[in-house]
Amino acid sequence: MKITDLKCAVIGQNPVVRITTDEGIDGLGAAETPKHYLKPMVLFYRDMILGEDPTDVERVMLRIRRMGSFKPWGAAVSAIEVALWDIAGKAAGVPIYKLLGGKIRDKVRVYNGNIRFPFDGYQPEDFAANMQKMKDLPESFSIIKQGIAFHGSPMVKNMPGYYYGEYVPKDRYPNRGVMTEKGFKLTVDCVIAMKEVLGDEIGLALDCGPGMTITDTLRLAQALEPMNLMWMEDAITGDYTPYVHPDYFLQVTPYTSTPIHTGEQIYLRHNFKELIERNAVNVVGPDPLDVGGIAELKWIAELADLHGIQMAPHGTADGLIGLAALVQVSATLPDNYIAFELPTGNPAWWYDIIVGLPDPIVKDSHIQVWDTPGLGISFDVEATKQYLREEDADFFEG
């Protein structure tokens, strides 16, 4: 089998990859919704993979993997990798998980970090009311992640005197600094209020940064130990920080029983190596659509498991194609698997154009792993055409 074309269309906000072959089998991949600008970067790899056999996934990846980098640049490589697995699975007539060694679980646990509600304020009662809405969702999530402190910066932005820095009113986490005692105490009280809503049957995870100092991170992790959190994520580095220094985390992780988490930004197993081998964190959260793909995430999970580190894949903006990739790989991960972050279709018409997902998708915080070949999903081409941009009108041809 040979690759005949690599196409990319931006559907809604998700760049979608389609690889075609000389045997009429095609494969799908995608990147996160905020990366709607990614199309030229995907097509950059086109000449490097044309004529290759897509079912030799690793051989194709060796041609392009070295040309990626930390988020967002690794996303194009990752989307292509997912499409190659889709083809390989379809060609063999098996779901992707079979090609990764088979599934370990028949259903995969998911957590909610995606379906969030606007805040009315940033006091403990507001965090409690907001958490109640997340708890009441029909998916019955058993783990819920909420942004706090520097994450998304609403506390930094909306609370005078929250920290000592000067607020930078820009997206993508430019703010860093030392919390005031007032800001610190308020953060603790907001977490306690959320935990009271959830009780001891639903786990609470916190997305905390990036932007917190090492000492504030340690102090917060220690203060929250009685809350038995699932994890504290990306407090020091993380979103839009293209470096992860294990030494930062090694000043926190060994000194608290609150699990410390990072990894959504990281591209390739190589960039997890030191973090994992030095036990700098307790939980890693690579995203299959940024880390280099499905098999890359599986490698990292196995290495993490060797070192007693847990795995909670990131996925909030991965869309429904990313959801299928997450289900396939999560079915194969070792016992260090906790749950992946459920992506949703955004806009909601994505649910009308993708065929093959269970309905409802999530029951009791789990997704049943489906057995259809490849990713096991496809486009309803006729229903999708209305959403194709003019320049992408030939996306489904060939």
Binding site for Mg ion (CB under 5 A): 207, 233
For residues 33-43, one letter each, b for 16 or more C-beta atoms within 10 angstroms of the residue's C-beta and e for the rest, the string is bbbeebbebbe
For Mg ion, give the closer residue by CB, 131 or 148.
148
- Shortest Cβ 108–Mg ion spacing (Å): 19
- Shortest Cβ 147–Mg ion spacing (Å): 8
Sheet of strand 143-147: strand arrangement: 143-147, 203-207, 231-233, 260-262, 283-284, 310-311
For Mg ion, give the closer residue by CB, 207 or 290.
207
Residue type, 185: K
For Mg ion, give the closer residue by CB, 205 or 367.
205
Residue nearest to Mg ion (CB): 207
For Mg ion, give the closer residue by CB, 56 or 171.
171
Q: How far apart are CA 227 and CA 131, in angstroms?
A: 15
For Mg ion, give the closer residue by CB, 114 or 251.
114
Q: Where are the alpha helices (DSSP H) in the chain?
A: 39-43, 46-49, 57-64, 74-92, 96-99, 124-135, 154-158, 181-198, 214-223, 246-249, 273-277, 288-291, 294-306, 319-330, 350-353, 381-385
**12: DSSP letter:** T
- Shortest Cβ 261–Mg ion spacing (Å): 8
Q: 10 Å Cβ neighbour count for 223? A: 17
For residues 174 and 235, the answer to whether their CB atoms sit within 8 Å is: no
- Shortest Cβ 211–Mg ion spacing (Å): 12
Residue closest to 387 by CA, chosen among 319, 295, 323: 319
- Shortest Cβ 94–Mg ion spacing (Å): 33
- Shortest Cβ 181–Mg ion spacing (Å): 26
**359: DSSP letter:** S
Looking up tokens 């990859």 gives 17
For Mg ion, give the closer residue by CB, 209 or 293.
209
For Mg ion, give the closer residue by CB, 207 or 318.
207
- Shortest Cβ 88–Mg ion spacing (Å): 30
Task: Please report, to the nearest 10 degrees, the dihedral formed by the alpha carbons of residues 141, 100, 90, 325 taken in order.
Answer: 30
